[in-house]
Structure 1
């Protein structure tokens, strides 16, 4: 599906409605977060390895987020979201750089249009197991303490149900989200290419033999309360055109659910990446399950797991992790976590199927502003 089909009419309508001059001024707001983890690891490495990964490590995830916006007299809000990675070096390829950067237009009646470097609508509307604290295991973050050997790609279901087509991340795209209709929100996205932010500086070669182009995503989320029971559901699907030789078009899909009863929240998700061999990456699948409990007062506790699999030529590679966590609210924008995690991964693409497993006992201070 070509890019001209997505939301050009919505943008034109928004610009036309915004034509009258507004006396309103911009609200130049900023915020961000800093999550600092200190953990002791006990890691078992494959036979023959000379590395020693037992000990204490520090993991930090932090961003400064600039969010200027203005609401015009006709009710339309225009704004920008720029996320600056507040690290000099780390596990993210864009550390010490801009993470996401996009402009948006929204109103209560028209919905929201986003354009720029951002995740897809399907990704943003997805739900998963409830997470207590700032260490996510439905993601690769825990590898800061126990390294992966499984070879799964980023934004792939082998390590997270929050997937993207062919594992693309924060590429240039345009998205539209409907207003909420009794708790139901639908979002669609179009990205010209999976090549990354560099595509912002040159036109996309739609015949490139090393790229996935014309990426389309759709997501649906539903949130509603029934007699004190909170229900959250999500589903997403996405596909793109493979330009790799003899490789099928990649797709991804996932479903997720949350159920809140009294102080308990139960949830889970399941996702797949059918890559067709795009970029040499095999098919991925995985699921999350978890429960969280808000104790009367400042504490919450939770137990969750993620189980993922990457299909390889020799044997399947697996990612398996469990986390037991508690978090205490210390004040506005300040919380303290303690958690234990067990992680096990293996690499079925390598002869001998090498395995890494480890235990982590950690604490974290989380600041958001």
Structure 2
């Protein structure tokens, strides 16, 4: 039965039957990364009143990524990508992403399984060289801005790498075209945005976000000593019954490299509808990096977001980072950085809350 289903899926995707693969072998490989950070934080604001949040803390980000693959005689490559989180999450480890790929130079690439959308994977934003991200919630390890700021994960109030209503790594079918002189276009479909890295066992489209479509485009080309990367994405889905308007997200981004400098930025929006998090948001990034002669690279960048809730309050998030990274050897780098975050809930009067924080930190990154 399993072989029959696989054959049926291959025909539906327009994949020709492969020649016998007796002489072919799987390349069973794995890799991953680990980043370990130590930083001192100085935290203030009304949301931190009565709390002692100052001092040294640690942040870890680790994944082991299994990537077996095989290339058949007809040129098709079938692969697996399973990403296991390296940190203890509430007493147990978890799988971050798990998907299959089918690709060739002429076919492009098909992705089936739990992965981000084509729109998300097409985007670019402000460049950086260190791994303490401010264009995502990572810095919340040291600065707990969520005490005041309501911005959601994978949404524009915190990051220009958005998803429809913030859905992340759900079961999805994605297709990317081959590169046409640097241009790649992708399209995704997900039955639901409610489940992360697991089967749905049936989707009640009256009860959850469903039928999510995303499209993304990325153009990357080099002209002499100048490199250009442009990106755009759009996505939408069906709101559940009584869930308000259908949610949407869109964004644009660009990076330009000339000599040892790279500059870039991005802008994105999420319109979530009243019952899907209740918060609409927008945000932008801007940054520059410089490769110093030798092993060092420098950075300066910002991400600034705004989230509006159902009451019409405009909450603000502003983050800045400067830093440097030194290449110590193959797959090994050392970061030093300083970052500042200011956030508030946009409320005036008795319900007002804000938080500000500054960190000075260092980190070691391993990639293997």
Is the structural similarity TM-score above 0.5? Answer: yes
Determine if contact 1:244/1:279 at 8 Å carries over to the other structure.
no
| Deviation of 1:306 (Å) | 0.1
Determine if contact 1:42/1:54 at 8 Å carries over to the other structure.
yes
Aligned residue in 2 for 1:180: 179
Aligned residue in 1 for 2:351: 352
Determine if contact 1:244/1:278 at 8 Å carries over to the other structure.
no
C-alpha distance in 1 between matches for 2:87 and 2:11: 35
Aligned residue in 2 for 1:37: 37
Q: What are the ranges of 5 or more consecutive residues in structure 1 without an aligned counterpart? A: 1-7
Determine if contact 2:173/2:189 at 8 Å carries over to the other structure.
yes
C-alpha distance in 2 between matches for 1:321 and 1:47: 17
Q: Deviations over 1:26-62 (max 9, x none)?
A: 0110000000000000000316821110000000000
Residue aligned with 2:68, SS: strand
Determine if contact 2:98/2:197 at 8 Å carries over to the other structure.
no
- The number of equivalent residue pairs is 357
| Deviation of 1:136 (Å) | 1.2
Distance 1:67 1:50, change over 3 A: same
Determine if contact 1:327/1:337 at 8 Å carries over to the other structure.
yes
C-alpha distance in 2 between matches for 1:136 and 1:188: 27
What aligned pairs does 1:71-82 form with structure 2 within 5 A after superposition?
71-82=71-82
The answer to which of 305-314 and 345-354 deviates more is 345-354
What's the C-alpha RMSD, in Å, of the aligned pairs? Answer: 1.9
Q: Deviations over 1:148-172 (max 9, x none)?
A: 1211111000000000001000000
Determine if contact 2:19/2:74 at 8 Å carries over to the other structure.
no
Q: What are the ranges of 5 or more consecutive residues in structure 2 without an aligned counterpart? A: 1-7
Structure 2 residue 21 is the aligned partner of structure 1 residue 24: no
Which of 303, 325, 330 lines up with 1:332 in the alignment? 330
| Deviation of 1:73 (Å) | 1.0
Determine if contact 1:22/1:72 at 8 Å carries over to the other structure.
no
| Deviation of 1:352 (Å) | 3.3
Distance 1:11 1:116, change over 3 A: farther
C-alpha distance in 2 between matches for 1:348 and 1:196: 31
Determine if contact 2:19/2:73 at 8 Å carries over to the other structure.
no
| Deviation of 1:199 (Å) | 5.8
Residue aligned with 2:279, SS: coil
| Deviation of 1:207 (Å) | 2.1
Q: Deviations over 1:279-315 (max 9, x none)?
A: 2321100000000000011000000000000012152
What aligned pairs does 1:258-297 form with structure 2 within 5 A after superposition?
258-297=255-294
Structure 2 residue 51 is the aligned partner of structure 1 residue 51: yes
Which of 116, 119, 133 lines up with 2:116 in the alignment? 119
TM-score of the aligned structures, taking structure 2 as reference length: 0.93
